[in-house]
Amino acid sequence: MIVRPDADNSACPRQIVPEPWKSSIKFAAVTDVGMRRANNQDAHMVVPADSKERYLSRGHLFVVADGMGAHAAGELASRIAAEQIPLYYLRKSSGDAREALREAVQQANHDIHQRGQQNHEFHNMGTTASSLAILPAGAIVAHVGDSRVYRLRDDRLEQLTFDHSLVWEMEAAGQFKSDSQLCGSIPKNIITRSLGPSPTVAVDIEGPFPVRSGDRFLLCSDGLTGQIDDAEIGPLLSALPPAQAARMLVDLANLRGGPDNTTVVVVEVGEQEQNADGGEGAGYRALGDPSLPRPMLLAASVCLLAAILLGISGNIGPMVVALILGAIAGGVAAFQYRQRRGLIIDNGDDAQPRRAGPYRSCAAKPTAELLAKLDQIIEALRNAASERRWNIDWRRVDALIVDDQRFRRQGRFAEAMKLQADAIVETMGQLRNQQRGGPL
């Protein structure tokens, strides 16, 4: 809510209630170089709609990219992706938003590839890219690589993207199960698809996913998911407001070694503007026509009718042929319909189409077990501060922990987790400030 004085400068203010498209989201973004890297090869971009028309046609856009390559090539590749995807996506204000986002990612891939061809130091540079657009009609995702997009709803965390990694591809192909010994032996950072190395790239388009008030979305690089499990991400995302969640997740990744750059974007959905005719159907029509594939249905109907007539006339052989052709046409129609509704992913490459996301799901309710893990982190910070003589003012941290214990005794785990996160973020903030040479 915006409060500003009247035009006549009187003391009595008037309240200006924002339009729904302006207040439909809250978001926060944090990126960090980590504990072992010299430079940050992650990039991100947040582009909230600047008008109602833009919101209705293209929505709010969020991008996370994780670059790969020596001589700052990865840093350049991710920056190009983060800058160019929004530019291409927003260039046209009409048409199918899903296709516009797919084309934007493909154009960014072309730009990165061309830049790599122009300088031998940037040859084969690449980057992941995960983009999320939130429109009144739903959320759509364009995805290449292993950076992820999650949705939190009703105490469930859902992964909306499929990791383009060797582990995930082999599991999807049925070569092993996720809990097998072979799966554990395969490095999880080997990706099978990225922007830049090739002149063309297959882009997964997921959604539209229905969006409602209270939903939270998380975009992140693998610097986060390599250190923190979904079972920990979900409760923290559920219990903390966007800014605190983003900071806490990055701090936790660093406390666990921070071997990689980490980027987190958290988006919270507020009240959504309703479609004119309401219902899910209106949303799908806004993003692209999901209507039945009439040509194939017509072909199936004609074949069925011909089979009936041929059967009546006793022409059994032609009748069987007509039935087979009708079944084929009907199967193609069903596939096309499911693909238009976002139930099947066909990314345009030689791989077999697969079902759409969500791909994984886990509970996201704060638990006593996770609180105990955070207790251990706070205790480890105290011990490290004592051993290394860090100058930490523990008074605010201790006060937060007192209230945390009170909430915990009452079974109010979400409130307790928020205070624990406050204590960890406060301590890490003091350490960062100390390293920069500023006052504590």
CATH of the structural domain 25-280, one choice from 3.60.40.10, 1.10.10.10, 3.30.9.10, 3.90.580.10: 3.60.40.10
Q: At a CB cut-off of 8 Å and minimum separation 6, what does 332 contact? A: 293, 296
Q: Is the distance from CB of 240 to CB of 248 less than 8 angstroms? A: yes
pLDDT score, position 350: 45
Residue 61: its H or E element: strand 60-68
pLDDT score, position 283: 44
Q: At a CB cut-off of 8 Å and minimum separation 6, what does 227 contact? A: 252, 253, 256, 257, 258, 259, 262
Q: At what angle do helices 395-409 and 368-388 cross, to 10 degrees?
A: 160
Cα separation of 360 and 102, whole Å?
A: 23
Between 304 and 367, the higher pLDDT residue = 367
Tens of pLDDT, residue by residue over 229-274, are 999 999 999 999 999 999 999 999 999 999 999 999 999 998 765 4
Q: Is the distance from CB of 63 to CB of 80 less than 8 angstroms? A: no
Range ranked top by mean pLDDT from 174-178, 375-379, 432-436: 375-379
What is the number of other CB atoms lying within 10 angstroms of the CB of residue 377? 17
Residue 14 pLDDT class (50, 70, 90 cuts):
very low
Q: Is the distance from CB of 223 to CB of 253 less than 8 angstroms? A: yes
Residue 341 pLDDT class (50, 70, 90 cuts):
low
Cα-Cα end-to-end distance for the chain = 33
Beta strands in 92-203 (DSSP E): 126-127, 129-135, 138-144, 148-153, 156-159
Residue 12 pLDDT class (50, 70, 90 cuts):
very low
Residue 1 pLDDT class (50, 70, 90 cuts):
very low
Evaluate if residue 338 carries a pLDDT over 60: no
Radius of gyration for the alpha carbons in the chain, expressed in angstroms and rounded? 26
Tens of pLDDT, residue by residue over 272-327, are 654 433 344 344 444 544 455 567 677 778 878 887 887 788 888 888 887 888 78
Q: Is the distance from CB of 207 to CB of 140 less than 8 angstroms? A: yes
Token code pair at residue 307: 């089979």
pLDDT score, position 178: 60
CA dihedral over 336, 338, 343, 344, signed as positive or negative: negative
User: What single DSSP character describes residue 214?
Assistant: T
Report CA dihedral (21, 24, 26, 32) to the nearest 10 degrees: -70
pLDDT above 70 as % of the chain: 79
Residue 344 pLDDT class (50, 70, 90 cuts):
low
Domain boundaries, the chain: 25-280, 291-340, 366-435
Residue 92 pLDDT class (50, 70, 90 cuts):
confident
Cα separation of 365 and 421, whole Å?
A: 15
pLDDT score, position 4: 31
Q: At a CB cut-off of 8 Å and minimum separation 6, what does 97 contact? A: 57, 58, 59, 133, 135, 137, 140, 286, 287, 288
pLDDT score, position 167: 87
Between 189 and 156, the higher pLDDT residue = 156
pLDDT score, position 170: 85
pLDDT score, position 21: 67
Q: Is the distance from CB of 64 to CB of 103 less than 8 angstroms? A: no
Q: At a CB cut-off of 8 Å and minimum separation 6, what does 350 contact? A: none
Q: List the single range of 2-11, 143-152, 378-387 with lowest mean pLDDT.
A: 2-11
Cis peptide before 358 (omega within 30 of 0): yes
Residue 124: its H or E element: none
Cα separation of 403 and 394, whole Å?
A: 14
Q: Is the distance from CB of 273 to CB of 20 less than 8 angstroms? A: yes
Is 381 exposed, middle or buried (CB count within 10 Å of its CB: 0-12, 13-18, 19+)? buried
Tokens 């099947």, located at residue: 344
Is 246 exposed, middle or buried (CB count within 10 Å of its CB: 0-12, 13-18, 19+)? buried
Residue 12 vs residues 2, 6, 9, 16, 18: alpha-carbon distances, Å = 14, 7, 8, 13, 19
Evaluate if residue 97 carries a pLDDT over 50: yes
The mean pLDDT value for 52-64 works out to 95
Q: Is the distance from CB of 36 to CB of 259 less than 8 angstroms? A: yes
Tokens 């993003």, located at residue: 287
pLDDT score, position 292: 55
The mean pLDDT value for 214-240 works out to 97
